[in-house]
Amino acid sequence: MSHVGEEGLKMIEEIPEGEVKDEEIAAKSGVPLNTVRRTLFILYENKFAIYRREKDPNSGWLTYLWHLDFSNIEHQLMKEKKKLLRNLKVRLDFEENNVFYTCPQGCVRLLFNEATETEFLCPMCGEDLVYYDNSRFIRVLKKRVDDLNST
């Protein structure tokens, strides 16, 4: 649920049971209406919120009645896990199959080919680039991939 932020989580905790208007959610939770609406649409996009529209016969205004549905949370979490795992594997492959050089001042980290193009000088500050040992980062990525694979 990191997509919804602290206020979004607060809103979720305070949302009343059944169908409810976004204005009611904002009033009950103390979360600003625009944040409530943004959070509801994020939840909707992730299939955790459902809405029903009603049209006021007098004004023609549309009212959205919302309710949360976390019955599909296992599927959504597995989908997110697979996506994260795929991204980590791509990054791991990139790190394992490339050689890097970095500026001692921390300006840039370049691929070997990019470093040769700058004659091993930092394009930002002119310092000599040094070899960057990414083996620790690779170990961290591998551990994260292993941890995700084992859960």
102 confidence band (pLDDT: 50, 70, 90): very high
**Which residues make Cβ contacts (< 8 Å) with residue 98, sequence separation at least 6?**
111, 112
Q: Which domain holds residue 17?
A: 5-68
State whether 88 and 130 are in the same domain. yes
State whether 63 and 90 are in the same domain. no
Give a yes or no: residue 73 inside a domain.
Answer: no
State whether 24 and 46 are in the same domain. yes
State the total domains in the chain: 2
Q: In which region does residue 6 sit, left (phi positive, over 0), alpha (psi from -120 to 50) or beta (all else)?
A: alpha
State whether 87 and 37 are in the same domain. no
Q: Which stretch of 40-49, 69-78, 108-117, 121-130 has the lowest confidence by average pLDDT?
A: 69-78
State whether 90 and 136 are in the same domain. yes
pLDDT at 124 over 70: yes
Q: Quick one: angle between helices 73-96 and 135-149, nearest 10? A: 150
Please state the separation of Cα 89 from the chain's center in Å: 17
* CA–CA distance, 119 with 18 (Å, rounded to integer): 65
Structure tokens at 5: 């932020």
Most confident segment among 14-23, 34-43, 94-103:
94-103
pLDDT of residue 104: 97
pTM: 0.66
| Average pLDDT for 81-101 | 97
State whether 50 and 89 are in the same domain. no
* CA–CA distance, 9 with 43 (Å, rounded to integer): 11
pLDDT at 81 over 80: yes
* Final residue before a domain boundary, out of 37, 68, 99: 68
Contact (CB, 8 A) for 66 and 51:
yes
* CA–CA distance, 3 with 92 (Å, rounded to integer): 24
State whether 87 and 135 are in the same domain. yes
pLDDT at 1 over 60: no
128 confidence band (pLDDT: 50, 70, 90): very high
pLDDT tens digits for 15-36?
A: 888 899 999 999 999 999 999 9
State whether 61 and 83 are in the same domain. no
State whether 101 and 140 are in the same domain. yes
- 38 compared with 6, residue with greater pLDDT: 38
pLDDT of residue 119: 97
State whether 58 and 85 are in the same domain. no
* Final residue before a domain boundary, out of 43, 68, 93: 68
46 confidence band (pLDDT: 50, 70, 90): confident
